[in-house]
Amino acid sequence: MKLIYLNNAATSWPKAPRVGETVADCINSVPYHAGRSGFSGPDISGECRKRLAGLLQVQDPKQIIFCPNATYALNIALHGIRWRPNAAIVTTAAEHNSVLRPLYYLSQTKGVAVHCVAVSTEGRIDPAEWDAALRIYQPQLAVFTHASNVTGAVNDAALLAGMAKQAGALTLLDVSQSLGLVPVLPEKWGVDLLAFTGHKYLLGPTGTGGLYMAPNVDLAPVWVGGTGVMSDLKEMPSLLPIRFEAGTPNDAAFAGLAAALLWNRENPVDVTELQSKTERLAAGLAAAGADVIAVRPPRTPVISFTLKNWTVEDAGEVLHKSFGIVCRTGLHCAPGIHSCLGTAPAGSVRISLSRFTTEEEINDCIRAIGDLVHAAL
């Protein structure tokens, strides 16, 4: 039985060509860290940062802080903000627990009031409801996801960030599900803070991610420690990015991410083709009898559905063991959205394609769902 990997919203597979070899080459080479070693070598972090800055169209690569993943980046942003007394945050029901749990922690420890805006049955933020919440609560921060990890619905980040700016709020945008698929332009959109990961649609290794910080933003460092330079200072240096990059960097992983970024630049994703595959699979699943959450473009290649007379967990297990299909079931670490989608409390089966998903795999997936539907009759 062949493997059909359809869990790319969790982590991508396969990775971009040369990623694995680049990571191995870095591990097997003499270690060199810019500013910390007594000899010259490749500036892995610098090259990766430049390539990310090019992708994000960010003028100064030093505004990009490296992190092990988007969760770390979100925590650096949320815990680094100097919260005012009686501060408020506006967020949405579509957020991942990497946002929701830090927000809950802030509400319990800092007394920050968190206000959550519902999303549509597609999982998309309604600009009118977003604007209303911003006007009512006058938050210090507005935090939202660019694309839902449950439905794939892409939000108009420029519009929503602009509304937050008009309300006097800082903006924090989570692009974990969109970077590598659709344009992400924080400086053009006026986004203050932007968290990303490298192991999803950038096709890089796990253990990579980061935070873009606009020049006007002042955060307190969450982690403090060695930086390899300015070692006589008792506090973390004020210079970016080292102010927020304490400790030894994961050069091997970021070398792999740099390789993935180069491959992506030389081989841009065919958005039209990927959209067509996603729509064909969604239509095929619905025709086979699945209750598919309908999502209009713009969207990422993520499809969520349920099956009558099947729990989502059982459906996922049978798809894996009997058909070789790797997918995801449950709440997908985004518990709030399911009340809006009508899939609470159990959640959904989630299938997520990549640029490497074949037509044969799509056909096999549709047939497998048809078999599950008929088996339950």
Best CA proximity match to 115, nearest among 127, 96, 97, 132: 132
CATH number at residue 347: 3.90.1150.10
Residues 162 and 311 in one domain: no
Q: Which of 239, 266, 293 is the last residue of a domain?
A: 266
pTM higher than 0.75, yes or no? yes
Structural domain for 296, as ranges = 4-14+270-375
Q: Which of 233, 266, 299 is the last residue of a domain?
A: 266
Best CA proximity match to 94, nearest among 315, 316, 295, 307: 295
Tens digits of per-residue pLDDT, 250-263? 999 999 999 999 99
Residues 82 and 208 in one domain: yes
Say how many domains are in the chain. 2
Average of per-residue pLDDT values in the chain: 96
Tens digits of per-residue pLDDT, 298-352? 999 999 999 999 999 999 999 999 999 999 999 999 999 999 999 999 999 999 9
Q: What is the pLDDT of residue 377?
A: 78
Best CA proximity match to 240, nearest among 89, 359, 39, 66: 66
Residues 122 and 242 in one domain: yes
Q: Which of 266, 281, 303 is the last residue of a domain?
A: 266
Which positions ≥6 away from 350 have C-beta within 8 Å?
A: 7, 9, 150, 302, 303, 304, 327, 328, 329, 332
Residues 142 and 260 in one domain: yes
Torsion angle of the four alpha carbons 9, 333, 285, 299, in this order, in degrees rounded to the nearest 10: -50
Rg (CA), the chain: 21
Q: What is the pLDDT of residue 19?
A: 98
Residues 249 and 315 in one domain: no
